[in-house]
Structures are given as structure tokens and as C-alpha cells.
Amino acid sequence: MRVLGISGSLRRDSHNTRLLRALRALLPAGVELEIFDGLAAIPPYSEDDEHTWPPAVARLRGAIAGADAVLIATPEYNGSITGQLKNALDWVSRPAGASPLVGKPAAVLGASTGLFGAVWAQAETRKVLERIGARVLQRELPIAQAETTLRDDGLPAQPEVGAQIEAMLSELVELAAAQPLAA
């Protein structure tokens, strides 16, 4: 089984990208996490261009289509989803009803340097994914003060947060296994 990880951050030393990489160690046997690394290359969405996918958009659409589930880790910018992540999801949402996210199991978590752990960005990201047609886990998993609460390996230092992440990953994998990808 393949889970596609997408970090909503473009920052080189992103807490969310580091967290995604670390989550590989928590996945059940037989599940691999591929991290999409082309978010920065996705151009601004324009309806004029939606019938001729730019290469970076085609790559993201293909990665989503080939995955059994999607896991997004996002920071919060100004109380919401990051602009580049929203832009990428806008591209992937088109044409309406024919997105590779339709019916795809998805989960969202977020690490932030603030006290709220990107809860608003997580809620906004879940809302966008639901609107596109993904089957979204309704879990909020904030990781606050990430610069001090994430260990060197990228995993949370608090055992209870680690347990919440493991539970989220298990639920995502179970949801994906219950309805495998159509051939």
C-alpha cells in the first residue's frame, strides 16, 4: 500500500516536511510513504490552463492517482492553509468531479511554531479536500511549538501525540484497505 505525503510548506527546514519523513517509521508493515517534493514548481492556478496540465501539476495528479491514500502535513499561515498548498489543491480539483482525489482516503495534521498547532489550517485543508470529494478523516492533530516539541528525528517528544499520530495513520490505512484503488 502506498500513501502520498504532501507538505504544505516550501521552507527548506520545514517542521511539517521533517514530520512527514519521520512518520515512515510509524507506518504498519507493507505500507510505504512517498513524499511529493514538487509543490514549489506548481504554477498559479488559471482556469484557462486547466485542460493542458503544466508538467508539475500532471506530476502531482499522477502521484495522487497512484496512491492508495493521501496524508497532508501543513503549517498555518495567517490562520489558514498555505497559499501554495491551496493552489495545488485547486489544480488537482479540476475538472470538477474528475479529480484523482475523488473517493481517495485523506488525512491532515499540522506542526506549527505557535501554540495552536495549525488547527485552523488543518480545518481549512480538510474542508477543501472534502469539497473536492476525498474521504477525509475527521481528526484534528495539532503539534504546537514544533521547534521544541519535535525531536531530532522529526517525531513528537510527547508520547500521547505520537500515539495520536499512530492512531491516525492506522485509521487512514484501514480506510484505504477497505476500498482499494480501482485498476
pLDDT tens-digit series, residues 85-108? 999 999 999 988 899 999 999 999
What letter represents residue 143's amino acid? Answer: I
CA 68 to mean position of chain CA atoms: 13
How many Cα atoms occupy the beta-carbon half-sphere of 31 within 13 Å? Answer: 23
Look at residue 180 in the predicted model and tell me its pLDDT: 58
**Which residues are bridge partners to 80 per DSSP?**
77
CB atoms inside a 10 Å sphere around CB 140 = 16
Q: For the chain, report the end-to-end CA distance as a whole number of angstroms.
A: 14
pLDDT truncated to tens, each residue of the chain (183 aa)? 999 999 999 999 899 999 999 999 999 899 999 999 999 999 999 888 877 889 999 999 999 999 999 999 999 999 899 999 999 999 999 988 899 999 999 999 999 888 887 999 999 999 999 999 999 999 988 888 998 999 999 999 999 999 999 999 999 999 999 975 554
Entry pTM:
0.94
Look at residue 181 in the predicted model and tell me its pLDDT: 53
Look at residue 178 in the predicted model and tell me its pLDDT: 92
Look at residue 115 in the predicted model and tell me its pLDDT: 80
The answer to whether 109 and 144 have CB atoms below 8 angstroms apart is no
Look at residue 75 in the predicted model and tell me its pLDDT: 93
The answer to whether 69 and 173 have CB atoms below 8 angstroms apart is yes
The answer to whether 100 and 40 have CB atoms below 8 angstroms apart is no
Look at residue 52 in the predicted model and tell me its pLDDT: 86
Look at residue 183 in the predicted model and tell me its pLDDT: 41
135-136 and 105-111 strand pairing: parallel
Q: Which of 141, 136, 142 is nearest to 167 (CA)?
A: 141
